């Protein structure tokens, strides 16, 4: 039974006891149960032959006997913990909670480590390796004797990477979100990940913040394990994972340090075992309505701009492709109701959880959701959010009092971006939503970085900064450089926002008039490569239009004279990446990994 109360529960008695929301599930609406001999893992362990002798003896080498695994669902726990991933520091312990749940439900857990993808530490960008994690997840599950999986992720690219790989293999699986960290604190001020770092860095550049204060913030802005506690990419994608039905009800907003997160982790283990017996695979569960819900929730939560790239890629792996047009259509109708920074002006994910969390937000936008969509607990989304309450109307706003009347994102098109450019109007100065300005163009980040600190730079707050050759191939990997720094001379004059255009991405914790993901990218000869400093660019967000005020004939002459840049890689993974990465509007997956590329891969042979 799915329950939502302001108390927690004792696993043995199911009695409500301590404070906090709970996420308990029941047997899904299934009519048949798989038999032990039908388990996928039985191919490894059940036959009376030489090869299976080897499998069983090696399991016994690890200290296990037939009573541990024979006839039981083997549950892979794909764990993205590492010493270098601050967001997943607690996964070293949480994996034991998942194992506890698997064992309680009569399964056999196997932890399978995967690449960790620490957003802060991995360079040049974790986006270079999202598809690597997707490949690793798919092949880990395919090659091992497992029947189902718990996917442990949270830090930005781990959520899409895990889901993409798991959807491609198609085994029963459930996603375990890492959860947000606790609020930051500095001299009595609440700090939000990323958003306040950007804000106070500009204050320091402008000479309004001391070195001492800046260094103090380092110890206060990230106080616990867990992901960014702003509505960045991590929180966005964890929420989307719940909205499409891949998490337990309410799981996406539980803070990482909360005891409810421990209990949720164990429940993921128990649920994964039951999903195997019920053969509840993603193909049987997910639908176009699932992804429509993901888009609606993304808009309502004031999502990261990265949501578009990741959800497009995930949906295409599921064979249920969504497009930029689907996001833009939802943006016209679904308002931002989560008052969470950076779209909101005050609150963080910890506040969101106390206000009711994701289930409460979905009750607020229920008219925009497909409530009959199925979820991993075998029930519908409508079932899962029934009875959820909002406990703070300022944190999760009613539809009649939104943070922003339209959705978080908008997709603009025009001669400068035939395949689209993304903007986050909910986090942008309203005066910039209709604007024409002079372009100031940079071909690489070092040149930009040097120029913005030049006190003699010829720039005004009405100009449009342009960075190119920073896309999927050009970056390489489409780094989060898109929140271009405002020139220091303008910061000192009080300018806090201006239009900035690039083929890069930006952090979900970023904000401002940033036009991102310009497609096709400059590196492959997209129109962005043809812009020159001094050209005028018109941006009209309400009309969804971006236009380079240069004649077609002149653009043709520039195109004829353009020469492609030198290759970024000549060997290794980067070489493969460059040859197979898709453009931003197609989700930046590898072409050969998409579901439409070829026939499904069969089960591994065992001889």
pLDDT of residue 32: 76
Does any domain span residue 98?
yes
- pLDDT for 3: 36
Same domain, 12 and 114: yes
Residue ranges making up the domain that contains 464: 416-561
Q: Same domain for 370 and 429?
A: no
* E-assigned strand segments in 274-331: none
Q: Is the pLDDT of residue 29 over 70?
A: no
d(CA 426, CA 442): 27
Cis peptide before 394 (omega within 30 of 0): no
Decide if 160 contacts 167 (C-beta within 8 A).
no
pLDDT in tens, 44-65: 999 999 999 999 999 999 999 9
| Pair 404, 334: CB distance under 8 Å | no
Q: Positive or negative CA dihedral for 393, 237, 235, 247?
A: positive
pLDDT at 9: 28
The residue to which tokens 């035939």 are assigned: 418
Q: What is the mean pLDDT of the chain?
A: 94
Say if residues 247 and 235 touch (Cβ distance below 8 Å).
no
557-584 mean pLDDT? 97
Instruction: Give yes or no for a contact between 545 and 413, defined as CB atoms under 8 angstroms apart.
Output: yes
Q: What is the mean pLDDT of residues 314-318?
A: 97
Q: Is the pLDDT of residue 7 over 50?
A: no
d(CA 107, CA 111): 13
Same domain, 370 and 428: no
Residue 83 lies in a domain: yes
Separation between Cα atoms, residue 11 and residue 378, nearest integer Å: 20
How far apart are the two ends of the chain, measured CA to CA in Å? Answer: 44
Q: Are residues 473 and 343 in the same domain?
A: no
- pLDDT classification of 1: cutoffs 50, 70, 90: very low
Instruction: Give me the pLDDT at residue 4, please.
Output: 37
Q: Is residue 574 part of a domain?
A: no
Does residue 568 form part of some domain? no
Does 523 lie in the same domain as 424?
yes
Does 534 lie in the same domain as 437? yes
Domain CATH for 140: 3.40.50.2300
Q: Report residue 240 as tokens.
A: 């989307």
**pLDDT exceeds 90 at position 607:** yes
Predicted local confidence at residue 514, as pLDDT: 97
Alpha helices in 184-287 (DSSP H): 195-205, 211-218, 233-243, 259-278, 282-285
Helix axes 130-143 and 158-169, enclosed angle (nearest 10): 40
Residue 71: DSSP 8-state:
T
Number of domains in the chain: 2
CB atoms near residue 454 (< 10 Å)? 12
- For residue 19, is pLDDT > 80? no
- The alpha carbon of residue 370 and the mean position of all alpha carbons in its chain are separated, in whole angstroms, by 21
d(CA 133, CA 114) in angstroms, rounded, equals 7
Is 361 within the bounds of a domain? Answer: yes
28 confidence band (pLDDT: 50, 70, 90)? very low
**What pLDDT is attached to residue 249?**
98
pLDDT-derived band at 16, boundaries 50, 70, 90: very low
Confidence bin at 407 (pLDDT 50/70/90): confident
Percent of the chain with pLDDT strictly greater than 70? 95
Q: Over the stretch 68-100, which tens digit does the pLDDT of each residue have?
A: 999 999 999 999 999 999 999 999 999 999 999
Residues of the chain above pLDDT 90, percent: 93
**Residue 569 pLDDT more than 70?**
yes
Alpha helices in 502-551 (DSSP H): none
In a domain, 80, yes or no: yes
Residues 108 and 252 in one domain: yes
239 and 320 assigned to the same domain: yes
User: Is 460 a domain residue?
Assistant: yes
Determine, yes or no, domain membership for 239. Answer: yes
Per-residue pLDDT for 14 more than 80? no
CATH of residue 495's domain is 3.50.30.80
For position 470, what pLDDT does the model report? 98
Q: What is the pLDDT of residue 24?
A: 39
Q: Measuring CA to CA, which residue among 32, 318, 41 is closest to residue 168?
A: 318
On whether both 306 and 167 belong to a single domain, the answer is yes
Do 364 and 460 fall into the same domain?
no
Tens-place pLDDT, residues 103-153: 999 999 999 999 999 999 999 999 999 999 999 999 999 999 999 999 999
Mean pLDDT of the region 336-364: 96
Q: What does the pLDDT look like over 588-601, one tens digit per residue? A: 999 999 999 999 99
Same domain membership, residue 158 and residue 263: yes
> What angle separates helix 357-364 from helix 288-300, to the nearest 10 degrees?
100
Distance CA 478, CA 472 (A): 4
pLDDT at 17 over 90: no
Q: How far apart are CA 379 and CA 249, in angstroms?
A: 10
Using an 8 Å Cβ cutoff, are 78 and 164 in contact? no
The pLDDT, as a whole number, for residue 12 is 29
Structural tokens at position 393: 């109307």
* 245 plus 340 within the same structural domain: yes
Q: Which of 29-38, 283-292, 450-459 has the lowest mean pLDDT?
A: 29-38
CA angle, 167 as apex, 165 and 170 as ends, to 5°? 110
Q: How many CB atoms lie within 10 A of CB 95?
A: 22
Query: Mean pLDDT lowest for which of 9-18, 214-223, 578-587?
Result: 9-18
CA 97 to chain centre: 24
Could you give the CA distance from residue 453 to residue 447 in angstroms, rounded to a whole number? 11
At 214 the pLDDT is 95
pLDDT of res. 543: 97
């Amino acid at each position: 039974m799915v329950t939502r109360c302001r108390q927690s529960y004792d696993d043995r008695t199911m009695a409500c006891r301590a404070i906090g929301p709970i996420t308990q599930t029941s047997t899904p609406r299934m009519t048949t149960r798989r038999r032990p001999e039908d388990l996928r893992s039985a191919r490894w362990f059940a036959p009376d032959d030489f090869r299976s002798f080897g499998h069983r003896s090696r399991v016994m080498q690890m200290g296990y006997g037939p009573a541990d695994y024979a006839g039981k669902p083997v549950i892979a726990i794909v764990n993205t913990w590492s010493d270098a991933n601050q967001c997943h520091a607690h996964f070293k312990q949480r994996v034991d909670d998942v194992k506890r749940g698997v064992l309680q439900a009569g399964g056999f857990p196997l932890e399978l480590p995967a690449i960790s993808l620490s957003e802060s530490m991995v360079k040049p960008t974790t986006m270079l390796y999202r598809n690597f994690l997707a490949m690793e997840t798919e092949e880990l599950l395919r090659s091992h004797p497992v029947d189902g999986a718990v996917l442990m992720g949270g830090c930005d690219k781990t959520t899409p990477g895990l889901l993409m790989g798991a959807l491609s293999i198609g085994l029963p699986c459930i996603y375990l979100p890492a959860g947000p960290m606790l609020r930051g604190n500095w001299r009595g001020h609440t700090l939000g990940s990323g958003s306040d770092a950007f804000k106070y860095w500009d204050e320091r550049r402008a000479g309004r913040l001391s070195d001492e204060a800046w260094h103090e913030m380092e110890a206060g802005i990230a106080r616990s394990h867990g992901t960014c506690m702003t509505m960045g990419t991590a929180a966005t994608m964890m929420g989307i994972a719940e909205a499409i039905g891949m998490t337990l009800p309410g799981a996406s907003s539980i803070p990482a340090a909360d005891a409810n997160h421990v209990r949720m982790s164990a429940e993921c283990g128990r649920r994964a075992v039951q999903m195997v017996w019920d053969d509840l695979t993603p193909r049987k569960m997910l639908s176009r309505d699932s992804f429509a819900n993901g888009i609606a929730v993304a808009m309502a939560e004031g999502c990261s701009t990265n949501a578009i790239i990741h959800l497009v890629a995930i949906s295409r792996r599921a064979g249920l492709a969504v497009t930029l047009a689907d996001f833009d259509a939802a943006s016209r109708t679904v308002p931002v109701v989560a008052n969470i920074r950076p779209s909101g002006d005050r609150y963080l994910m910890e506040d969101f959880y106390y206000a009711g969390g994701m289930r409460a937000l979905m009750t607020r936008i229920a008219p925009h959701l497909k409530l009959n969509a199925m979820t991993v607990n075998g029930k519908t989304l409508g079932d899962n959010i029934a009875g959820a309450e909002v406990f703070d109307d300022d944190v999760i706003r009613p539809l009649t009092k939104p943070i922003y009347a339209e959705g978080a994102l908008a997709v603009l098109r025009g001669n400068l971006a035939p395949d689209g450019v993304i903007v986050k109007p909910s986090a942008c100065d309203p005066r910039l939503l209709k604007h024409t300005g002079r372009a100031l163009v940079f071909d690489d980040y070092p040149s930009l970085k040097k120029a913005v600190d030049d006190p003699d730079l010829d720039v005004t707050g009405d100009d449009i900064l342009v960075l190119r050759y920073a896309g999927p191939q050009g970056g390489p990997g489409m780094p989060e450089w898109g929140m271009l720094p405002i020139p220091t001379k303008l910061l000192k004059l009080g300018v806090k926002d201006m239009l900035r255009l690039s083929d890069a991405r930006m952090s979900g914790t970023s904000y401002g008039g940033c036009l991102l993901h310009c497609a096709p990218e400059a590196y492959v000869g997209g129109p962005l490569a043809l812009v020159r400093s001094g050209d005028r660019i018109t941006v009209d967000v309400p009309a969804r239009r971006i236009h380079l005020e240069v004649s077609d004939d002149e653009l043709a002459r520039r195109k004829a004279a353009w020469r492609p840049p030198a290759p970024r890689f000549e060997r290794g993974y980067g070489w493969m990446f460059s040859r197979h990465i898709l453009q931003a509007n197609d989700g930046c997956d590898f072409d050969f990994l998409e579901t439409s590329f070829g026939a499904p891969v069969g089960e591994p042979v065992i001889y």
